[in-house]
Structure 1
């Protein structure tokens, strides 16, 4: 089972990996990427991330592909979400997945218990 701090470390490792892929091709700027906000969920957390604000303009650079990460504390899953689908829908879809997995485990356990 993951703690919130364990989950944060997983997300930071993913952000570090993303850093090598996100840069401004025209000016060769490397952005300072970090976790911007964390929300608690029934199964874990959602980590929103992106570039910190530019010191000169005060604006946060915009780039594609920085969908938040869902982290499941029980399954220790880190799931990168899509930016094209509302996050609420992706959370609902993942919760449905967890219910289906639990149902499948329960069914398998019942079948195993019925075998001689």
Structure 2
């Protein structure tokens, strides 16, 4: 099981290579706790605290979902609302749990 600090480390590691390639310093701008773990929002460090109306340096920087139970790191798409992607992932987790339970029940019956 991951802690928030460990999850933050996963996200920062994922951001490190593209940051070097673009010669930008990426930073986590906000963290939201959700049922399965966290949502890490990120941006170019220079955009943190930028005035309203000023265009961000980066575009297309969808947040990461990090699952505390299995350590999954999921890059979200910017074409779909984050709330919908969280709901979709929660649905995926329920489906996976159901499949594991069904397989375990089947194994016991044999």
Structure 1 and Structure 2 fold alike (TM over 0.5): yes
Q: Relative contact order, CA 8 A, sep 6+: which one is greater? A: 2
User: Hey, what does 2:88 align to over in structure 1?
Assistant: 93
Rg larger in 1 or in 2?
Answer: 1
User: Hey, what does 1:4 align to over in structure 2?
Assistant: 4
Structure 2 residue runs without a partner (length 5+): none
TM-score by length of 1: 0.83
Does the CA-based 8 Å contact 1:52-1:61 persist in structure 2? no
Q: CA RMSD in A?
A: 1.7
1:48 matched to 2:38: no
1:104 matched to 2:99: yes
1:13 matched to 2:6: no
User: Hey, what does 1:74 align to over in structure 2?
Assistant: 69
Label 1:13 to 1:37 Cα distance change in 2 as closer, same or farther (>3 A). same
Q: 2:30 aligns with which of 13, 27, 37?
A: 37
The structure in which a higher percent of residues are helix is 2
Structure 1 residue runs without a partner (length 5+): 23-29
